[in-house]
Amino acid sequence: MRVTVLGAGAMGSLFGGLLAERGHAVELLDVNAAHIARVQAEGLTLDTERQGRRVVRVPITRPDAASQRPECLILFTKTLHTEKALEAARGALQADTLVLTLQNGLGNAGKLSQFVAPDRIAVGVTTVPADMVEPGHVHSHGEGHIRMMMAGGMHSERLGTLAQALTDVGLTATVDPTVQAAIWQKVAFNAALNTVCGVANCTVGDVGRSAAARQLAHRIAAEVLAVAEADGQRIDLVGVHATLDHALDHHLAHKPSMLQDLLAGRPTEIDAINGEVLRVARRLAIPAPCTEALDALVRLREGLVRDA
């Protein structure tokens, strides 16, 4: 397939690199000059659980210099960069390009609809992990999967072909009509752990070791899931709380991306996580006081690290 990846950081480089390695026509688009220069000069170093460390040759350029006309575009910027990235990559989008977002948070399809016809938008959620070790070098250790569907719920042969291509490279992908509930469930998890770790400047294990912080994380998840249910989603409440406990008990040294962003002085994805939940909660007149408090505190820290 001809696949363009917009936002070739940790996740985008992993997905694009694995597809390129298998012979698909991949173009990576990013704005990180150091990453672009390293991948152009030396190739992309991929380090994965299954295949270890190797170098993959894959074209990379800035979005406004895109040359491929893709069948599929996978969007993997952080949520706060979606509009700017798509604006610059407009030239790459054909009338029939399928655009898939696997970004965290809510409201991603709505942002895409400013640039892409509704019947070309696919949404999804992934538990595949990835980290950028340094420019040109991506690391992914641990299992994960991808669930996706057309945002409008219709059947798409091309989405099925993309799911198969991803599965063939070890990124187990399924087309699943219950993705919206899965997206909400991941948002509940992220709203609970990312924010508490971000504000407290601590690891997931630190939260797990504090009875009060563990209880707070569960209260936030419960609030978010109550909003999801009121919005019409069928939620696996027991499953989300069990996943949260598993992370608190096992991912002890993990620093969630929101904490990593704050430590690096970067803005976070708070608006696509707590911000979106609170917009739905207000529309449905459902109280979400813990989610609201953490939203305010993360935004406070964002301002402090930006001005530091």
- Could you give the 3-state DSSP secondary structure of residue 285? coil
Least distance (Å) from ligand NAD to the CB of residue 61? 10
The one segment of 7-15, 52-60, 65-73, 170-178 that binds ligand NAD by CB under 6 A: 7-15
Place of tokens 């298998």: 22
Q: List the Cα angle 57/58/61 in 5-degree steps.
A: 135
Adjacent-strand bridge partners of 132: 138
Give min distance, CB of 56 to ligand NAD, in A: 16
* Residue 260 binding ligand NAD, by CB under 6 A: no
Looking at residues 124 to 163 of the shown chain, list those that interact with ligand NAD (rule: CB under 6 A). Answer: 126, 129-130, 132
Residue found by looking up tokens 């803005």 in the block:
267
Could you give the 3-state DSSP secondary structure of residue 101? Answer: strand
Region of 78-86, 233-241, 280-288, 291-299 interacting with ligand NAD (CB under 6 A): 78-86
Binding residues for ligand NAD, total number by CB under 6 A:
29
- Report the residue closest to ligand NAD, judged by CB: 9
Identify which of residues 140 and 291 has a Cβ nearer to ligand NAD in the complex.
140
CB-wise, 113 or 210, nearer to ligand NAD? 113
> Per CB under 6 A, which of residues 229..258 are in contact with ligand NAD?
257
Q: Out of 3, 5, 10, 278, which residue is the one contacting ligand NAD (CB under 6 A)?
A: 10
Give residue for tokens 């620093």.
Answer: 255
Q: What residues does 174 pair with on adjacent strands?
A: 147
Backbone angles phi, psi at 287, to 5 degrees: -70, 140
CA–CA dist 308, 302 (Å, integer):
10
**What is the smallest separation between the CB atom of 285 and ligand NAD, expressed in angstroms?**
29
Ramachandran region of residue 232, left (φ > 0), alpha (ψ -120 to 50) or beta? left
Residue found under tokens 């008990």: 249
Region 93-112 residues binding ligand NAD, contact defined as CB under 6 A: 103-104
- Residue 129 CB, nearest approach to ligand NAD (Å): 4
Q: How far apart are CA 142 and CA 108, in angstroms?
A: 26
Asked if 48 touches ligand NAD (CB under 6 A), the answer is no
Per-residue binding string, ligand NAD, 17-46, x by CB under 6 A, is ------------xxxx--x-----------
State the amino acid at position 30 in one-letter form. D
Q: How buried is residue 299: exposed, middle or buried, by Cβ count under 10 Å (0-12/13-18/19+)?
A: middle
* Residues near ligand NAD (CB under 6 A): 6-12, 29-32, 35, 63, 76-79, 81, 84-85, 88, 103-104, 126, 129-130, 132, 257, 269
